Amino acid sequence: MTSALGNIKVVDLSRILAGPWASQMLADMGAEVIKVERPKKGDDTRFWGPPFIKEANEEQPPQAAYFHCVNRNKQSIAIDITQQQGQQVIKDLIAQADVLIENYKVGGLTKYGLDYESVKAINPRLVYCSITGFGQSGPSAHKAGYDAMIQGEGGLMSLTGEPDGMPMKVGVALVDVMTGLYSCNAILAALMARHQTNAGQHIDIALLDVQVATLANQGMNYLATGKNPQRLGNGHPNIVPYQTFATQDGSIILAIGNDSQFVKFCQVAHCGELAQNALFATNAQRVINRDKLIPIIANKLASYSTLWWIEQLESVAVPCGPVNTLEQVFDHPQIKHREMVRQVSNQQGELINTIASPINLSATPLQYNSASPDLGQHSHQVLSSLLKYSEDNIKKLFSNGTVS
């Protein structure tokens, strides 16, 4: 089967989530991704459980569900890069690679001779993606960055939560995920540019930059007014009504995006007079007068069940939906139809559930070939088949602990 990136080789020196998210996207598109991990311990997220897909044993660290969300379709080689021989193995991999992804602190790979300036002499066509908390330059460049702290420092937490409550982080590591998405986009752009320049380049991606860039309408709201947006719970700063409401038996998301939808909602809710009221007739007026409108709508929605509202509102094309648990999400008929859960096999032939990519390419479909690898599962294979090392050399690397 033809894949979009079948001719691309990636050396993945990244750990945790942002970098591995980007490299998994490339792997799904068919790139050969070699994940470089620490001997014995591997990626930190192998330990981030419970729950665990596989428990630890005498030879292997555990495999947390967290690790499996972001490392499918990859090969694992365990290399001690503090040793000169380990550094040479990485350089030999780089010589054949198209892409390198790393998320060490700024300058952290220089002492190993694996920084961009050093390795571009080995492979001038290499696309080298550096992911850090604060970027390669600036007064904060030396600081480590983690998703939750960046959600705070980058403003997202100030926008999230109830008006009178504490600032809240999002329920998943959203900054890391978005950073992975931006990184993958940048890598693909650099690979396209290479067709024109015949040279690689250095990509500088910072979690803080990503967080600020994805403030989206709220960031522009501030720039337009000079006023800090306030937390609105599940409300929307620019559209009303666009939030969750309690029903007779649960909750519903009402997502009314224009005035005609509001008229239809009012007809279903038997409050047509609201749509004629000058205070609520346009979205701009509804935003200004949200404190008057929302209690009226809340009272109406509490009168019937979630299912009743969804059936009635969908029949007149008013956007709405339930607030589902993950059990309900994965049992959703549309999610099942879209095959958003796939099964991949691990080294032992066991089938592991994985959440599919949302990308659907008609001519070069994404691949789901293998579950996240055991630590060092492909070390010998990479050294012998890809790098063409002799068996004697491979034995030396394993015996002295450079590779495991």
| Cβ atoms < 10 Å from Cβ of 349 | 6
pLDDT along the chain (404 residues), means of 10: 93 98 98 97 96 94 97 98 97 98 97 97 98 98 96 97 95 97 98 98 98 98 97 96 96 97 97 96 97 97 96 97 96 98 94 97 96 97 96 96 95
* Residue extents of the structural domains in the chain: 9-214+344-400, 242-323
DSSP 45-58: GGGS-SSEEE---S
Q: Which CATH architecture has domain 9-214+344-400?
A: 3-Layer(aba) Sandwich (3.40)
Nearest 5°: the CA angle 56, 61, 63 is 80
Q: Rounded distance, CA 334 to CA 252, Å?
A: 18
End-to-end CA separation in angstroms for the chain: 32
Q: Rounded distance, CA 206 to CA 5, Å?
A: 25
Q: Please tell me the predicted confidence (pLDDT) of residue 38.
A: 96
Q: Please tell me the predicted confidence (pLDDT) of residue 17.
A: 98
pTM for the structure as a whole: 0.95
- The CATH number of domain 242-323, selected from 3.30.1540.10, 3.90.950.20, 3.40.50.1000, 3.10.180.10: 3.30.1540.10
| Residues carrying an active site annotation | 176
Say if 9-214+344-400 and 242-323 have the same CATH topology.
no
Beta strands in 65-157 (DSSP E): 74-78, 99-102, 127-132
Q: Where are the alpha helices (DSSP H) in 289-378?
A: 290-301, 306-315, 326-330, 333-337
Q: Please tell me the predicted confidence (pLDDT) of residue 45.
A: 97
Q: Please tell me the predicted confidence (pLDDT) of residue 362.
A: 96
